[in-house]
Structure 1
Amino acid sequence: MASAYESDEETFSGSDSEVSDESDFESESEQESDSEDDRQVYTKQPCKYYNRGGCKNGASCSYLHVCKYFLKGSCRYGSSCKLSHSLGGRRSSGQCARSEDQSAASNPQLTDGRPYQWQINDGKGWKDVENDYIIEAQYSLPHTKSIKIYNTPYGAVCIDFNKIRIYGKNLKVRRLDDGNTVWDWYCTLRKKWRKYGDKDSKGNPGPVKSSDIERKFQSNPKSSFAFTSGGETFQIKFPEMQQVGKKKNRKVTRRPVFRQQQGNAGAAHLATSFKNLSVGTKPQWQFEGHSGNWHNFKRRTGTSSECSINSDDIESKYQLNPTDTLKFKINGQPYKLDFGAMIQINQTNKSKRKIRRVLV
């Protein structure tokens, strides 16, 4: 299935920049909060049809798909309830809403030498997504929430990485692999994703290894993993994807280690790029101002200094081809970024500014 890509980072809508590659993608990354409860406060009423067993409107329903008794604090089924017990829309632990891919045995394995393959099903069978190494690369980053695919037979398609589903369309998505994927586990700490087992600032390793968590998950994706740190016992609940403690709950995610596809130059470039990008860091694009100070690219609308792109847009284009160019507009005037020369060019008067890519 031919498509163009745009991987999304939270909250990341389509840019106004012009892109010419057959594969563009826009990434939506998130810096997660480690607060005990960072759920949104909803004013919507629970959907009565959803609570009766099914709503024909699905994701487009204007009402909240959540157990009405959970909202009242009186659901007698608790964690075994088949309806959602989350204001974020996830089902409770009784009915995990995670991807088919999250269960070790739920998806067939690839046997043709490919390490992974993303597919979409419109009701007429599963179809391969071309150049899916871009999807895989973004999926491997713990802070990336979703990716938007353009120019598909179904129009623009947005894949939610947390639930492995497609927003707002009657389509299914899945990820197949060869059974050799290495999975890493992360939790939020001081608003950044940290890999379990990584050393802290003092060089001390974490109290539990990512591989230990994965081993338990593979044995039972609906169970939990307990460990002790600093005299306190914590529990990683797989269905809720949360680390639960006495004082604070933290978000947890599971992502694959990105693997290079043999003979794929684009995937090889991404693999090399990812080796230099540590967890908790994020590329930031900047331009040099008149005073010599560096400023971040930020998308702005409705202001005196409108800009059609931000740093994430630039990074997405750069990941496709680090020697390419990217066109955009400031106050309606055309500009171009030249990655090979690392300059910004005013297309009207040909003036130039330096640009740079830093990790923050």
Structure 2
Amino acid sequence: MSDMSDCTRVIHYATSILCSNKGSMEMSQLHRRVFQRFEISEADFWYIVKKCARFVMVQSRPGEEDAESDCTVVAKTSLRLCKKYSKNECYECQDLHLCKYFVYGNCRYGKGRKECKFSHNIQSQHNYPLLRECTLHELNEDDLFLLLLQNDPALLPEVCAHYNKGTGVFGACTFMERCTKVHICQHFVHDTCLFGPKCKRQHSIDGYSRRMLEERGLSGDIIRELPYIYQNVYRLNSQPQSSELISDQGIKPVAQMEKNEICLHFIRRKCKFQDQCVLVHFNLPYKWELYDGKGWRELRNMEDIERAYCDPKNEYSPGSRPVNFVSMTKNGDPVRRLSTVSSVSKPAHYFLTTQWIWYYKGDHENWIEYGHPDDKQRATSVTSRELEKSFQEDNNAEVTVIKGNRHYYVSFQDMYQRNPKHNTKRRVRRRPRFVSISEVESKAAQ
């Protein structure tokens, strides 16, 4: 792509067409729609779909023989509605301040003379910066609301488990038409129903559930899309993601991945495997590369890029054509950083491993290392090294952190530290400790 703005436009467009198509789409269909609109390379497309946090790839129904239909792309966001806003208990947080019934599409105050006391303005002073930060500010309201609904199960009524047991019109549900949960086939929601139109369970919203949902404020449009929203909620939360990775040629097994870890022994000129080594041979414990459409090539001024990257406050490298450390792109082209193994996975006497440091954003736009005191001399119960060990064990985990008398949890999946009591969140960053070329040469000679 020519620049980062092109990449952003593709992401916006792909998100919009996914949301307009019930929140998800087969990979082949998304591929076709994007290439009809943009002149991009295969590498650009696969990189965006695989690396952008906006999209999740999940395996379609097992047994499908069509190779182009083996993957579904679902639109994703970490943005949520603030739960305390409707109780008038929140004024500043990192979640949207919007009327829940406005999102449902059927706020009774929004249609009458009496004005709703909760915001119906996605462009408000509080909401717009959050949408812009998540690059969702260009979505129309309908697409944004569908995205929020399928990513936040708390906004949706539950599917009745009793309806899915027993026989009869209401299954084993004793509340029958008075049930406050949705009567719909659970196998359909899980995309595993074998009976299709012949299924005895509902694959759409029946009249009883419709009336219940309308009483709860859901509009007819949302109710019509609800079965598909449930499917996408299941896809996003059951994590049936493919264990395969995407390359510019398509999907390939992990065993066929390109080498992406730097050999410690080669840096010390002691690798006995030479050209047969399965690791990358490079003279530094880090290597910055750019994908030019044909392959990965080294970036110039690698030490300057690394020095900037190691400072958590930096989102860009120096220079007129910088590397974007958030999107890992340079002028829209994919960028990657190779490195030696994490220091926590090797004994202490190993050197030139990569020491990763974990930071959270402070109150004054500063970044504070975990385990170190803040400006009020309060330190977190968990150190940077302990977070890194947890990350190496499971990079989708959540870790509980205590500071003072407050409890937080750090999510590796979206890199936020959240306070569940006050429903606030702070950004988290993982950056390596800087090692200069001269320091590498000195240690390699030992």
Larger strand share, 1 or 2: 1
Larger helix share, 1 or 2: 2
Greater CA radius of gyration, 1 or 2?
2
TM-score using structure 1 length: 0.46
By relative contact order (CA 8 Å, sep 6+), the higher-ranking structure is 1
TM-score using structure 2 length: 0.38
